[in-house]
Amino acid sequence: MTHAPKPLIARRSGALSGHIRVPGDKSISHRALMLGGVAVGETEIHGLLEGEDVLATAAAMRALGAEIERGADGVWHVWGVGVGGLTEPAQVLDMGNSGTSTRLLAGLLATHPLTAFLTGDGSLVRRPMARVTEPLSRMGASFVARRGERLPLAVIGTDRPVPITYEVPVASAQVKSAVLLAGLNTPGRTTVIERSPTRDYTETMLRHFGAEVRVERADGGGHAISLTGQPELTGRTVQVPGDISSAAFAIVAALIRPDSDLVVERVGMNPRRTGLIDTLIEMGGSIEILNPREEAGEPVADLRVRGSALKGIDVPPERAPSMIDEYPVLAVAAACAEGTTRMLGVGELRVKESDRLAMMADGLAACGARVEAGEETLTVHGTGRPPAGGATVATALDNRIAMSFLVLGLATDAPVAVDDARPIETSFPDFAGLMNGIGARIEDATDTDGAGA
């Protein structure tokens, strides 16, 4: 990201309409590059998200020995080094803003006999890494970090990795994935037990590349995911669907603008990622699932969204793992709904790119909504119409906070501005351009008279 802040302002729009495609799924993009990098032969990736987070993963895998090129047709080609073949990087690996990439890469590196140094931007270096370093240490790796297990992080991989059975203490696809990726270069069987299901992109893609992955019921409930170590992964073709986390912003924007009629094409519909769709439909949102199909093992569909009168509901805590990144924009929908929406079991939001519970509560309050944040809850009291707006919201380098409040500004009487939209490029390149193409009004705030404080 460039260093100068990039303020944007959103003004109330008319109905949103048309057909759009959002950028490729970030989770799948990271994993395709990493597994392609340790496979034998060529991997072809179609629809890769070309945001800064994923480009940081590509740069890291190149530094570790993989050959990666982008074709003129937008298709990415990866020539891997084989399982166990990563080489020690000569430079520090800068992961930008990507916590996913950092935690997964720590797992991949932990069972290679090398030392690597990971760092990131001002937001990432504040995020805790203990949740992955603890199980990876059990497998034989060593780590040196700042207080609180924060970046910069030295990963000292082991040449004698030990398979483990590890029960994830909190529902986290990143922790599960880090342990499974460490298990790739570990002899024997590495097992992760999760009591609550999390997104299963890693398991699906490991199988796609040729690994043996078993999922069985665990004693006491939940699932045990087991990987047989030291497989020969083979390069594959990967089709990356549209990211449901990115589609969420267009979906909510269309729901809160009367008479909108929008189709979002090729959205990934992995059932462990569709909690937001379920929630918005429960709130009265008109969302029609069209042309469901499967691409490279992942379910995909087109979504038709129409402007709707939303109502407040209670969102159960067990739904959190399937929509943890979508709560900020759900809070925007709740602020425009009739009645109270309670989001339960969302304490994980406090350790994302920012403390998202606090950021959403403060920003919504500044825009005139009544909201309360607890340690594990966010409660929004809607009046049936959008709040007043008229605020400039601090983003704390959090892309989803920035996009959520720009969506809110499309519905409020007074415009809503964000102080810095640069982080949006990490996950949703040309967000403003794509949204404006369907009728939104998102502009450079330095070219206007501002939104006020």
Q: List, as one string, the DSSP characters of 197-213.
A: ----HHHHHHHHTT--E
Give which of 108, 271, 113 is closest to 190, Cα–Cα: 108
b/e map 163-194, b = 16+ CB within 10 Å? bbebebeebbbbbbbbbbbbbbbbeeebbbbb
Structure tokens at 421: 């939209």
Query: Cα dihedral sign for 428, 198, 312, 346?
Result: negative
- Within 8 A by CB and 6+ apart from 219, the residues are none
Can 325 be counted among the known catalytic residues? yes
Catalytic residue, chosen from 53, 121, 200, 325, is 325
CA atoms within 13 A on the CB side of 207: 12
Task: State residue 33 phi and psi, 5-degree precision.
Answer: -65, -45
Give which of 180, 277, 293 is closest to 239, Cα–Cα: 293
Question: Is-cis flag, bond preceding 152, omega within 30?
Answer: yes
Give which of 428, 377, 376, 378 is closest to 406, Cα–Cα: 428
Q: Which residue has the tokens 């309050």?
A: 365
Q: Under a CB-based contact definition with an 8 Å cutoff, are residues 43 and 36 in contact?
A: yes
- Within 8 A by CB and 6+ apart from 147, the residues are none
Give which of 89, 92, 128, 137 is closest to 110, Cα–Cα: 137
- Within 8 A by CB and 6+ apart from 449, the residues are none
Instruction: Please tell me what DSSP assigns to residue 85.
Output: -
The DSSP bridge partners found for residue 315 are 343
Q: Under a CB-based contact definition with an 8 Å cutoff, are residues 393 and 416 in contact?
A: yes
b/e map 357-389, b = 16+ CB within 10 Å? bebbbbbbebbbbebebeebbbbbbbeeebbeb
SS3 336: coil
Q: List, as one string, the DSSP characters of 371-434.
A: EEE-SSEEEEEEESS---B--EE--TT-HHHHHHHHHHHTTSSB-EEES--GGGGGT-TTHHHH
* Residues known to be catalytic: 325
